[in-house]
Amino acid sequence: MDDVFLRLEEELRAGRPAALLTVVESHGATPRGAGSRQLVLTSGDTVGTIGGGIGEYKACEAARRVLQDGVSTLLAYDLSPGAAADIGAVCGGTFTVFCQYIGPEAAACISAIAEYGRNRRPYLLLCDMTEPAQWAMAVAGPETICCGDEQHMADLQLFLQKSGNASTYKPQLISYGGKLLYAESFFSASRAFIFGGGHVACALVPVLARVGFSCVVVDDREDFANAERFPDAESVVVADLEHLPDFHIGEDDYVCIMTRGHVGDYVVERQILPLRPQYIGVIGSRNKLYFVREKLLADGFAAEEIDNTYGPIGLPISAATPEEIAVSIAAELIAVRARREGREKADAKKWRAADVPHIRLP
């Protein structure tokens, strides 16, 4: 997602228009859900994906036509049996794509999006698609920047005044006063704190980095916490695990605890629990997790608070090697993040930590 806006910013600054494909609505089985984006450049190259296959191919063809005539449009694709045969796909769902011509005059708006992404700041993106060829867009963060059709920009500002910039939306279409709006909230970039620099951490960090997590690795051993060992980490910190520095961990962050022993896991979790991050996962056997839990209960933590952590960490896929365990952990973090950001498909099976067959401690 960030790559799409960053590249779009580059193109506009160079004076080149681009066509932005955004899935604004999807129902049933589709390659990707609402909020997926792909950029089509004047060179013919693309950045990102809206799911691949024949649907993406046809959308990219339409985007190239839009680049020629400068007229934005809405595209609807039906992948249900029968209808899907017309385009050679049989997924079974439907999705709508906004094919948006964006010229250099929108550079300030797109630069604001890119800047929020670089600084990991949340913002709200609104687009008035009532008349697709005369769209308007608003980027609402600490300040609001608009671009596009002037009348529709005024309508978006009125919507923001009534709904508030702080409102959050999963990617969705909104009917408002006879208008068709697309709204999507972007959250602070996901930070993953990995406490422990062992074999699993070495396998985990590059996987998390590839799927959009900024990784911070913490260990009390310099040999296990250095940039050479973790080239994909945003930062690597050598710290006393019993007295952690203030990392400003908050509700947008994810914490993976995998120190070299149960005592290290306990002292880290004891300091992390009061911070209430989005996710706390702890590696280890039944005996190790039981030891940590009993120590935390003795410290005065509530059982419910402790049991909201994920342990053993990772989805239950019978992972054995460090690389397999890393995949299971990354999958769990992706699922938690998608649920928080409202990116689960409407018909996706809901799950909670208590629903999966992890070891449940007494």
Q: Say whether both 73 and 220 belong to one domain.
A: no
* 120 belongs to a structural domain: yes
* 361 belongs to a structural domain: no
Q: Identify the domain containing residue 218 by its residue range.
A: 191-355
Q: Say whether both 172 and 257 belong to one domain.
A: no
d(CA 221, CA 207): 23
Q: Say whether both 147 and 220 belong to one domain.
A: no
Judge whether 196 and 259 are in contact, CB under 8 Å: yes
Decide: pTM greater than 0.85.
no
Mean pLDDT of the chain: 88
* 260 belongs to a structural domain: yes
* 49 belongs to a structural domain: yes
Q: Say whether both 120 and 212 belong to one domain.
A: no
Q: Say whether both 71 and 149 belong to one domain.
A: yes
Please give the torsion angle defined by the CA atoms of residues 172, 176, 179 and 181, in that order, rounded to the nearest 10 degrees: -20
- Number of domain units in the chain: 2
Per-residue exposure over 118-157, b if at least 16 CB sit within 10 Å of its own CB, e if not: eeeebbbbbbbbbebeebbbbbbbeebbbbbbeebbebbb
Q: Say whether both 174 and 266 belong to one domain.
A: no
* 36 belongs to a structural domain: yes
Q: What is the pLDDT of residues 277-329, one digit of tens each?
A: 999 999 988 888 888 999 999 999 999 999 899 989 999 999 999 999 999 99
Q: Say whether both 273 and 178 belong to one domain.
A: no
* 171 belongs to a structural domain: yes
d(CA 256, CA 219): 12
Which residues make Cβ contacts (< 8 Å) with residue 148, sequence separation at least 6? 106, 128, 134, 135, 136, 137
* 279 belongs to a structural domain: yes
Q: What does the chain come to in residues?
A: 362
Q: What is the pLDDT of residues 93-133, one digit of tens each?
A: 889 999 999 999 999 999 999 998 888 788 999 999 999 99
The residue out of 186, 210, 237 marking a domain boundary is 186
Q: Say whether both 167 and 39 belong to one domain.
A: yes
CATH number of residue 235's parent domain:
3.40.50.720
pLDDT at residue 200 tops 90? yes
Q: Say whether both 222 and 106 belong to one domain.
A: no
The residue out of 138, 154, 186 marking a domain boundary is 186
Q: What is the pLDDT of residues 41-80, one digit of tens each?
A: 999 999 999 988 888 999 999 999 999 999 999 999 887 6
Q: Say whether both 201 and 167 belong to one domain.
A: no
